Amino acid sequence: MEPAAARRVLLCSLCLALWCLRCAHGLPSSGNHDWKKLIMVHHWPATVCKEIENNCKNPPDYWTIHGLWADKAEKCNRSWHFNFNEIKDLLPDMKIYWPDVIHSSGNCTYFWKHEWEKHGTCAAQLDALGSQRKYFGKGLDLYKALALNSMLQKLGIVPSGNYYQISDIKDALASIYGVVPKVQCLPPKQGEEVQTLGQIELCFTKDLQLRNCTEPGEPEARRPEGQPAQPATGLEVCEDAPAFYPPPEEIKH
């Protein structure tokens, strides 16, 4: 083979190898996907149903997982598609703790697919989250370890017709977890008096240690850092004011 032809073959082989490496699982497909913290997002099903004006059937009466999100990153590897078979062994816990609240009568595959392809492919930069099985398994582990439902009950914060001060909720959670959470609400609609408690975020370092959800002096975003699975929501960081924590039966359709 002529030297020039040999060089062309070598160059083509090198380019092909780099392209394959770029598409390998766990590597970003494009853009800058650096992130600093993980966000364990819990949402209150009754508020989810109210927010989207969806006739949810028998929504859970406990906080469920919305997602495990890396901040400032999304869809980091568009070639790493969701494969349900990788999480089949997690299915019993996934249905209980990570359900599709909006489409509660159907299967949750679309919801989990969305969470993996938008958020999981970014979180997978960590070895501890470096596969679909690890990502969803660790999400379940963190949810159980945080035990938000039982913690709120111990603090006396339970669904009620009475209102709670958002500052009291945040202070109570900080006293339990040792870090400042982010609390999000559905703003009052026309004819309503107060905002409705909807989402609670607790944040982690890349070492999976709890950390404040905002840095000192950093303003809280008025919108969630990630986007929900479907459809777009109206949740915002709660005003420092009273909030309604609705029992499921209080949401009328």
| Sign of the CA dihedral with 189 first, then 193, 198, and 201 last | positive
Annotation says 51 is catalytic? no
Q: Kindly name the residue from 33, 66, 74, 114 that is annotated as catalytic.
A: 66
pLDDT score, position 107: 67
Contact (CB, 8 A) for 84 and 32: no
pLDDT score, position 216: 65
pLDDT score, position 196: 96
CATH 3.90.730.10 assigned to domain 31-250? The reply is yes
Q: Where are the alpha helices (DSSP H) in 23-60?
A: 45-52
Distance between CA atoms of residues 4 and 76, nearest Å: 38
Contacts of 216 (CB under 8 A, 6+ apart): none
Contacts of 3 (CB under 8 A, 6+ apart): none
Q: What is the DSSP letter of 22?
A: H
**Domain limits of the chain?**
31-250
Q: For the chain, which residues score pLDDT lower than 70?
A: 1-32, 54-55, 104-107, 216-233, 249-253
Contact (CB, 8 A) for 120 and 129: yes
Contacts of 163 (CB under 8 A, 6+ apart): 194, 242, 243, 244
Contact (CB, 8 A) for 176 and 70: no
Annotation says 42 is catalytic? no
Q: Kindly name the residue from 33, 43, 114, 119 that is annotated as catalytic.
A: 119
Task: Name the token pair of 51.
Answer: 């927010």
pLDDT score, position 9: 43
pTM metric for this prediction? 0.81
Q: Kindly name the residue from 33, 43, 51, 115 that is annotated as catalytic.
A: 115
Annotation says 53 is catalytic? no
Helix (H, G, I), strand (E, B) or coil at 145: helix
